[in-house]
Amino acid sequence: MNVIETRGLGKRYGGIWALRECILAIPDGHVTALVGPNGAGKTTLLNLAVGLAAPTEGTATVLGGWPAGSASALDGIAFVAQDTPLYKSLSAADMLHVTRNLNRRFDQRYAEARLGELGIPLKRKAGEMSGGQQAQLALTLALARRPRLLVLDEPMAMLDPLARHDFMATVMAAVADDGLSVVLSSHVLAELERVADYLVLVSRGHVQVAGAVDELLAHHRVLTGPATEADRYADRLSVVHSRRGAAQAHLVVRTNATTDPVPPGWQAHPVSLEELALSYLREPGAAALPGPARAGDDEREEATN
């Protein structure tokens, strides 16, 4: 089952396309990192998936085929936006009450117990909480709905390192305990590398890379060798990004590590998720093939046959 699937999805604001021809399939059971620069289309994609915006073109379905924004879809998705929207004048208890009455399913006992473990008094107003406490309250409200898919749009952007760690610890506990699928948009690549097992990279309104992290890492590596020979091997290798100094060059390449030989005089090193993502962000025209196929490539091939 795919928790999010899109076909030809696009969103235009006036004359500007925020997202265009998006073909994507995110399987369930993953913590998916949604990565891209500001203005790449990440928030637009998430808003379309959770039904907060209507597409200009194409379709989006969730949780195995429910139309995005439908009652059945909304019942199984919880969404936490970047600004952790809360009514600042309401207490934590009031926020639990409001959320319980706006949703068909809400685990009051779980929510109260979790806030107690976090040391967040039920009588404290949201506006009097720290940024970390507000984020935890918003996350608690989302998890208490017992969703099948948790969508997080830059939830850690304003948090300090300790608050980010505590926030992600809660998310990963929910993944382990409830089999929750998570789609997480964030600029903190180091945090994503620690928790994500699926990667979607968006650049200039298009999905550029999508696949399981272990497969993507297995099909990429870093080659280090003489700068004077970089051009010679760049013609033979599928180079995603190159960095050259006066004497040495570093090439991030797509490869089959079991069959593709390392050029003489060069050394091969594993690539990290952060280095892989940054390489594609620096080269937005690079395609993620060969290697793990980008989501939707099979559909495009079938359509042309």
Q: Is the pLDDT of residue 298 over 70?
A: no
pLDDT per residue as tens digits for the range 27-75: 999 999 999 888 888 999 999 999 999 999 999 999 999 999 999 999 9
CB environment 153-187: b (16+ within 10 A), e (fewer):
bbbbbebeeebbebbbebbeebbeeeebbbbbbbe
Mean pLDDT, range 172-176, rounded to an integer: 91
Beta strands in 47-100 (DSSP E): 57-62, 66-67, 77-80
Q: How confident is the model at residue 302 (pLDDT cuts 50, 70, 90)?
A: very low
State pTM to two decimals.
0.85
By percentage, how much of the chain surpasses pLDDT 90? 55
Residues 268 and 257: their CA atoms lie apart, in Å, by 9
What pLDDT was estimated at residue 288?
A: 54
Place of tokens 């989302």: 142
Tokens for 74, please give them: 């909304």
Mean pLDDT, range 187-208, rounded to an integer: 85
- Return the minimum-mean-pLDDT range out of 50-64, 243-257, 284-298: 284-298
Residue 47, classified by CB atoms within 10 Å of its CB into exposed (0-12), middle (13-18) or buried (19+), is buried
Looking at every residue in the chain, the average pLDDT score rounds to 86
Give the chain's domains with CATH numbers. 2-212 (3.40.50.300), 220-289 (no CATH)
